[in-house]
Amino acid sequence: MEKILVPVDGSEQASLAASWAAKLAQRTGGEITLLHVYVIGSAEAIGLANQSKDDVKDVQDRRAAEVFDKAKSAMGETGKEIDTIVVIGDPAEEIIGLTKSQGYDHIVMGNRGMSPVEELLLGSVSEKVIREAHCAVTIIH
């Protein structure tokens, strides 16, 4: 059974990728895990630098729930439970590392996330995943 990892960030591209992955899983009998990665330093970026760790965690959990709900909505009724994972770090490194450590067979992701500016400054996450992943990668445009 194919294990499919779908990184999501709340963007339209991530929703399209989740929808495509759901169709793939239906055809192959695969299992889907949605992954949401918080970029290191994102607490400062959203104005939470002076908040307690619990407050920051609450905001992160709410944001992740919104992102997962949007992706699941795009997927429609799959008839299967969808696993979710939330991590903090560099998105490309976390995607690649999780794929290796958890034995995923396929990554399905959007070609562009929420922030085109971040993409210009940090380099393309999807490009790095394509170069370094040790499994199949499908990029949805």
Q: Looking at the chain, which runs of residues are DSSP E strands? A: 3-7, 31-38, 83-88, 106-110, 136-140
pLDDT beyond 90 at 42: no
For the structural domain made of 3-140, what CATH number should be given? 3.40.50.620
Give me 13's structure tokens: 């591209």
Q: Where are the domains of the chain?
A: 3-140
CA–CA distance, 45 with 29 (Å, rounded to integer) = 39
For residue 109, what is the enclosing H or E element?
Answer: strand 106-110
Residue 29: exposure state from Cβ atoms within 10 A (0-12, 13-18, ≥19): exposed
12-16, 89-93, 110-114, 118-122: the lowest-pLDDT one = 118-122
pLDDT averaged over every residue in the chain: 87
Residues of the chain above pLDDT 90, percent: 65
Q: Phi and psi for 112 in degrees, rounded to 5?
A: -150, 135
- pLDDT tier at 112 (50, 70, 90 boundaries)? confident
- pLDDT tier at 122 (50, 70, 90 boundaries)? very low
pLDDT of 141: 85
Provide the 10 A C-beta neighbour count for residue 48. 17
Do the bridges between strand 106-110 and strand 83-88 make them parallel or antiparallel, or are there none, so unpaired? unpaired
Nearest to 72 by CA among 111, 21, 109: 21
